Amino acid sequence: MSVKRVATQSGTRTTLTRDRVLEAAIELADASGIESLSMRVLGAHLGVEAMSLYNHVANKDDLLNGMCDLVWRTVDLARTETDWQAALRTIAISVHDAFLAHPWAAREHGTRMSETRLRYVDAQLAHLESGGLNAEAVFHAHHTLDGYILGYSLQVIDFTGEQPEAEALFHSLSHELPSLTEHFRQHGLPQTRGFEVGLDLILDGLVYGNTSATRPLGS
């Protein structure tokens, strides 16, 4: 990998490496969205010609794969945690936090694979196995946890408090929908533990649930 010296926006000099290119791309994607990211824009942000970026990334697809890999590197895999449920909780919250910090990464989750993401999957599976769950239970538990983390994260990312059309429809029907009215009221209250509430229900269910009508999940 070649190394170049480039001028940053502050006028200081820094070494252009693959990680620096990926970090700059993440900064831009976090600020303006993944759709606005291009090699030209990234080059300008780094103070270099776009073509020089190809010394560090093969193409736009390689850039996106590398960006996602850097995000996955921030995830705490709870390697030293001996309690399997506590370990899974730590991992899930860490992934959720990473997705909220980098919303574009949540949307790329289904299409981007990397070594670091594979290590996340392996760690999650290993913690499930250490809990004494059978192979079938581990298989389904992984997909349940992964789906919950992604789904809840996207729900938070996509939700906005300013939805005038939806609010107008709700208010026109509120007298017919008392349960939804109460739920809507709760949306106006401080919410800090929503993700953890659902996560704990899943983790408890791994102990007490069933893989069939008669067999305990971990048997």
pLDDT tens track for 47-62:
999 999 999 999 999 9
SS (H, E, C) the chain: CCCEEEECCCCCEEEECHHHHHHHHHHHHHHHCHHHCCHHHHHHHHCCCHHHHHHCCCCHHHHHHHHHHHHHHCCCCCCCCCCHHHHHHHHHHHHHHHHHHCHHHHHHCCCCCCHHHHHHHHHHHHHHHHCCCCHHHHHHHHHHHHHHHHHHHHHHHHCCCCCHHHHHHHHHHHHHCHHHHHHHHHHCCCCCCHHHHHHHHHHHHHHHCECCCCCECCC
Predicted confidence band at 213 (pLDDT cuts at 50, 70, 90)? very low
Partners of 16 in the β-ladder: 4
144 shares its domain with 46:
no
Whether residues 198 and 144 fall in one domain: yes
Which two three-digit tokens encode residue 106?
Answer: 């949540």
**Average model confidence (pLDDT) across the chain:** 86
Tens digit of each residue's pLDDT (9 = 90 or more) over 124-133 = 999 999 999 9
User: How many residues in total does the chain contain?
Assistant: 219
**In a shared domain, residues 125 and 189:** yes
Same domain assignment for residues 110 and 43? no
In this structure, is residue 124 part of a structural domain?
yes
* 48 and 77, same domain (yes or no): no
What is the C-alpha to C-alpha distance for residues 21 and 57, in angstroms, rounded to an integer?
8
Domain count, the chain: 2
Residue % of the chain over a pLDDT of 90: 67
Evaluate whether 125 touches 142 at the Cβ level (below 8 Å): yes
Task: Residue 100: name the closest of 23, 143, 142, 156 by CA.
Answer: 156
Residue whose C-alpha is closest to residue 17's, from 70, 75, 68, 94: 70
**pLDDT at res. 207:** 83
**Does some domain include residue 214?**
no
pTM for the model stands at 0.82
The reply to whether 28 and 81 lie within a common domain is no
Query: Do residues 201 and 156 both lie within one domain?
Result: yes
Which pLDDT value is given to residue 185? Answer: 77
CATH code (residue 9): 1.10.10.60
Are 186 and 95 within one domain? Answer: yes
Tokens 């939806």, residue?
166
Over residues 161-184, mean pLDDT: 80
Residues 6+ apart with CB under 8 A from 24: 42, 45, 46
Which residues form the domain of 26? 4-57
- Residue 178: pLDDT band (50, 70, 90) is confident
Is the pLDDT assigned to residue 105 strictly greater than 70?
A: yes
In-domain check, residue 12 = yes
Looking at the structure, tell me whether residues 139 and 198 fall in a common domain: yes
Other Cβ atoms closer than 10 A to 185: 10
